[in-house]
Chain A
Amino acid sequence: MADLSTNIAGIKSPNPFWLASAPPTNSGYQVQRAFEAGWGGAVWKTLGDPILNVSSRFAAVSFNGQKVAGFNNIELITDRPLEVNLKEIYETKKKYPNHAIIASLMVEPKQEKWHEIVKKVEEVGVDGLELNFGCPHGMAERGMGAASGQVPALVEQQTYWVKEVAKTPVIVKLTPNITDITATAEAAVNGGADAISMINTINSLAGVDIETWNTIPHVGGKGAHGGYCGPAVKPIALNMVGECARNSRIDVPISGIGGISNWQDAVEFMLMGSTSVQVCTAAMHHGFRIVEDMIDGLNHYLDRKGIASVNEIIGKSVPKYSDWGDLDLNYQIVAHINNDVCINCNKCHIACEDTSHQCIEMLTGTDGKPYLQVREEDCVGCNLCSIVCPVDGAIDMIEKPNELQPMTWNERQEAIANISYVANSTAK
């Protein structure tokens, strides 16, 4: 069995699986149940001045009958008194000294407010702090959460205030509701953050009831935007983690969040630069017990790969993540249809014919049976046919060797510039 123990900016946990700051970490009872189930750490539901919540808070998006493809919430930070939360954090930490408890914090953007809460939570023995600059609803309208998190200067300033007094590692949690997340990530680093976590939820409206014309969810006939999370947001989160991980100015560890539902998702986030991962929606869908397969699956994966420690996979795919301009324009793949596996649904044909490059032909064999064939010379290797194909192994995307040297767009532009330069020089 591989070593799963994790250390992110000095915060240690028996495994990389943390519960994200959210409804599952609302109380000591819940966090202790989670630790019993196997979770390595928990980011306590955001502490701050207690708020009032509305009733009817969650909504989810089903996709083709699969429940909770995406999840939307309009719940705010903790609605319990700070003292109660602090007491339960103290008790939980005492009972589970080897598990990580991180306090998520959100206060008004004032130095003294941050100093006050940091001191209070560190007194009860938390292992670290996570600054919630991401909550997109309710709190943002009060100048907190995403409202702070969308302004790099505010991120930097508040992180700095926290670092003035914090004795434990400080993680800054970033909002995805921004054009370029590396801007706020960099601001957090400049403010002294020991780590960053991402992504918080994405502004969303889960749906509209086409019979009543109400929003989903609605509070007595009225709705407001919520925060979107769950499996649907994973690609967005993974990109943001990757963008930060490959940015040399963002030189702090990352805790990855966003649609992580199983060990495979966790491995993907770690390969893309996450040191730990945080989970919420999957636990809300199935209960804390899902962590058992996360740990078990990760363990067997590492064993199968002959990797002794989970830390060895962190960031391994980051060097493979680049800019479009660095991709080889001369690399070529083409689709190949395996007719013995193909079930003749013709989905690849119509996808290609109507929406791609018209290179999959519907033919009839000498035996009278229909079959599909790719006209390779016209295939651009877009992958669409293999994406819509319902059968494993029916369409392979095959590398097509060619004589051409690798050449990226950037190299090409450079070469053209050189030629123009030479041409211009010669002309003179």
Chain B
Amino acid sequence: MKSDRKETLAALKRNFEEVEPPFSKHDALDEANRCLYCYDAPCIQACPTGIDIPSFIKKIATDNLFGSAKTIMSANPVGASCARVCPTEELCEGACVLNHSTKPILIGNLQRYATDWAINNEATLFHAGKPNGKKVAIIGSGPAGLSAARELARMGYKVTIYEAESEAGGLNTYGIVSFRLPQKISFWEVEQVKKLNVEIVTNTRVGVDISAKEILEQNDAVVLAIGMSSVPALGIVGEDLDGVHDAIEFVKETKIAPIHDNLYKKRVAVIGAGNTAIDAATCSVRLGADNVKILYRRTLAEMTAYDFEYEFAKQDGVEFRWLTAPVEILGDEEGKVTGIKCVKMTLSEPGEDGRRRPVPLNDSEFTIEVDAVIKAIGQSRYIDLIEQFDISHDGGVVTIDSESYQTSNSKVFACGDCIFGKGQGEAMVVSAAQQGKASAISIHRSLLKETIETA
């Protein structure tokens, strides 16, 4: 390898180091002492997992970091990840009463400070409960699955998690860009769950390597936390060209393989404007792309990415092209992407989802020259697997009882991204964690009831 290429690769690699620096002890103490320690605090209400935020902050102020980390992690089994990826402006920090007087407490940074302490000090925060003889299988080891597993293990259940990938952690391990969430944080959270005697069977795709029927027969309850699948096809010409990527796979690549220079000095178009699109775009910038454009058929107002992500992408130099829809991906004779043909759109009446529908403008076609196209228009569903469990769903969104997370099969509970959509659930990591917890409690209630009845 030529040394300048080596240097380039090293520089690109550094681009993927965590962006946000950690709080120093001084930062943490200043910020913790600034917290008012409100009673019945709105930040707690705003946290989907209900972390006792004033309490964990108070514990930072008194240097009780073990207690602080425990307060966080007991409410949220993926609290170290959430410290980094939660849209705090829309949750806890957005609810902070200091928004009305000065500026809100930086709760996410403090949460990271406390959980980092637990990580660096190898603290054992939880222990497995006394075995109660009941078995639960969890399909998927992402935030929802891990959270359910942690709670069940603490209550004494024998828990087995089945994971299709080679490592556990789901989205937190594979799907969130390293510069926001390093993999080691996700792995630590996985370790915490493993320490409670939870068995995580990796490289095992349920429905292929083991059947749904077997799992149902072998366990007292099942938690479906399977998340979502790959990005669906755009349905346009040129999608198979060399240089067209699935955003999920594209981000995953940056987390599991050595950082490459395939996009160095290249031009990239990302299609879609959700959180994954932002991740793909900012990853492209960090891989050295000269120009990265996000093409979105609607406008800023309809975009599903969080404000802070939009700001982050803009500061990374990502260009946003609103009201722009791709109609064809162009390639050269070698089958490599050379450009993308688009049309300008306009917004018409609101559609079923309440968002104004984009419609093409006549004679508005134009071409953007690009070397790569990344598709980030949402994710498809594991419908086959859902059907193997023979449970009701709506276009791949598993139907659940909103209180108990129970599916149409009373033995099967579902949480996380597989229940998100069609007006149901939330797509945040922190919501998945809460749903996992809630599923565990429901299982405990339902199996406990069973025990009482048989007794």
Q: Point out residues on A near B: beta carbons under 8 Å.
A: 66, 262-264, 286-287, 289-290, 292-293, 296-297, 300-301, 304, 391-392
Contacts and interface: CB of A to CB of B under 8 A. Distances in A.
B58 A290 contact: yes
Given A262-B62, A293-B58, A392-B26, 17 more contacts: A66-B33, A263-B62, A287-B39, A289-B55, A292-B55, A293-B59, A293-B64, A296-B59, A296-B64, A297-B62, A297-B63, A297-B67, A300-B64, A301-B64, A391-B26, A392-B24, A392-B25
**What is the predominant secondary structure among interface residues of chain B facing chain A?**
helix
Given A290-B58, A296-B59, A263 B26 contact: no
Nearest to B58: A293
B37 interface: yes
29 contacts: A66-B33, A262-B61, A263-B62, A264-B62, A264-B63, A286-B37, A287-B39, A289-B39, A289-B55, A290-B58, A292-B55, A293-B55, A293-B58, A293-B59, A293-B62, A296-B59, A296-B67, A297-B62, A297-B63, A297-B64, A297-B67, A300-B64, A300-B66, A300-B67, A301-B64, A304-B66, A391-B26, A392-B24, A392-B26
Contacts of B26: 391-392
A289 B61 CA distance: 15
Interface of B: 24-26, 33, 37, 39, 55, 58-59, 61-64, 66-67
A264 B59 CA distance: 11
Contact of B67 (A286, A293, A391, A392): A293
Contacts of B59: 293, 296-297
Nearest to A67: B36
A304 B33 CA distance: 24
Nearest to A65: B34
Given A293-B59, A391-B26, A263 B64 contact: yes
A290 B64 CA distance: 13
A157 B67 CA distance: 47
A278 B165 CA distance: 55
A169 B249 CA distance: 73
Nearest to B64: A297
Nearest to B65: A300
A302 to B, nearest CB: 12
B219 to A, nearest CB: 33
A392 B37 CA distance: 25
Which one of A289, A293, A301 has the highest number of Cβ atoms from chain B below 10 Å of its Cβ? A293
A301 B59 CA distance: 12
Contacts of A287: 39
Closest 3 CB pairs of A and B: A297-B64, A296-B67, A262-B62
Contacts of B25: 392
Contacts of A263: 62, 64
B58 to A, nearest CB: 5
A304 B58 CA distance: 19
A230 to B, nearest CB: 15
